[in-house]
Amino acid sequence: MGKRKGFIHLIEIIFISIVVLLLLNQFTVIPPARSSWDREKLALIGSDLLFSLDMTGIDWFDRGQVSASIEKALEVTNVRHSVSIRNALSPSLSVGCICTLQELSILQGYLEPFAINNRTINFTVTRIEHTSPAFPVSHDAIVIGQTSFLSQNLTSLQQDMETYLSTGRGLVAFSDPLSPNEVQRGIFGLKSLPSPASGSVVFSDADNEATRKIRRLLFSIPGTNLTGRPSASFGQQANTTLSAQPGFAAPLQVEGSEAAAMILGRKDSGKTGWLLRGIENEGVLLKALVLYAAPDMLELIKADMKRPLTFSLFKIIGENDYSPGMFEAYEVILKLEFAF
């Protein structure tokens, strides 16, 4: 009888152990109620927050105002948040210049602040020694002056340029006509013509996102004196032996030829631009190229997050490419995540 009871107890222990293991396994696959509820709560908050702030007339390009408004609206301190803006002109751009002191002075004169779409665009120009070029990612765009662009050492910098462009930043160069080397062909899209072309600079028939943005900028930056839709002539004279490689675009050309006065390109996620030096309105054209080459994403407020919820607000300024100001269609991106 005692052996029988012992056997029954053993069966009971085994059965209970199995039940406990099953229960423990069940609990491990059910997400914690708090974690699930937190994300639901953030989803409810985030879906209304962007639109509510926009209705107040908030200046999305003012870091301080945006941060203070979001923190006040959240009313909690344990929510991390970040805000970025895609496809809008940044109000503050850091520009590097691989150039001589004379070229630096010229570029600083060109990149003066200007107002567009109810905000002021400011440039901070920093010289990078042309005898030892570098491409620090602290700059939104880097301009290569003629002295460095014509240097034979340019080809040794190709990998550095490509690494810089892979971060979504841009390179701009301006020079006289030349016989393109590997970098000038592959990164900036320059191609030699069999004979020089001279005449008026006109808007080309090239039509893509890059050329449309350059046109919008040229109609909007003070100094070009353009009105209405683009006419046949841009009102400049040029003499050049260069055109655009396949895959690159020439928004400005010498009338009646393939010769280019400006060439645009993309390399990885970065952008490149080349301008024929010495043509009329050179300053405005260089300013437009720098704005074109700058990153598409403005990181307004940064935060380290692992699994944030993302919310978007789309804004449109200007009715079309030729309305007052400049047409911009940009996206405000808000990310939220509980800190613990």
Least confident of 11-20, 115-124, 315-324: 11-20
Average pLDDT over residues 182-194: 95
Distance, CA of 92 to CA of 193 (rounded, Å): 38
Give me the pLDDT at residue 144, please: 96
When pLDDT is cut at 50, 70 and 90, the band that residue 226 belongs to is: low
pLDDT at 27: 45
Identify the pLDDT of residue 227. 46
Whole-number pLDDT of residue 128: 95
Mean pLDDT value of segment 106-128: 94
Sequence-ordered list of residues with C-beta below 8 angstroms from that of 229, at least 6 positions apart, any chain: 322
Percent of the chain with pLDDT over 70: 82
pTM, to two decimals: 0.84
Q: What pLDDT does 134 receive?
A: 93
Higher pLDDT, 18 or 113: 113
For the CA atoms of the chain, what is the radius of gyration?
29
pLDDT at 170 over 50: yes
- pLDDT (average), residues 136-157: 92
Distances (CA, A) of 232 to 256, 280, 326: 11, 16, 21
Q: Across the chain, what does the average pLDDT equal?
A: 85
Q: Say how far apart CA 100 and CA 95 lie, in whole Å.
A: 15
- 228 or 277, which is more confident: 277
For the cut 70, the answer to whether the pLDDT of residue 325 exceeds it is no
User: Per-residue confidence at 240, pLDDT binned at 50, 70, 90?
Assistant: confident
According to CATH, the topology of domain 98-119+128-295 is Rossmann fold (3.40.50)
Cα–Cα distance measured from residue 95 to residue 143, given in angstroms and rounded to the nearest whole number? 7
34-89 pLDDT, tens digit per residue, is 455 577 878 888 888 999 999 999 999 999 999 999 988 887 668 889 999 999 99
Question: Highest mean pLDDT: which of 13-22, 32-41, 73-82, 98-107?
Answer: 98-107
Q: Give me the residue spans of the domains in the chain.
A: 33-87+298-338, 98-119+128-295
pLDDT at 220 exceeding the cut of 60:
yes
Alpha helices in 75-168 (DSSP H): 101-110, 146-149, 158-165
Residue 229 has pLDDT above 80, yes or no: no
Q: Where are the alpha helices (DSSP H) in the chain?
A: 2-29, 33-55, 63-74, 101-110, 146-149, 158-165, 182-186, 209-220, 282-293
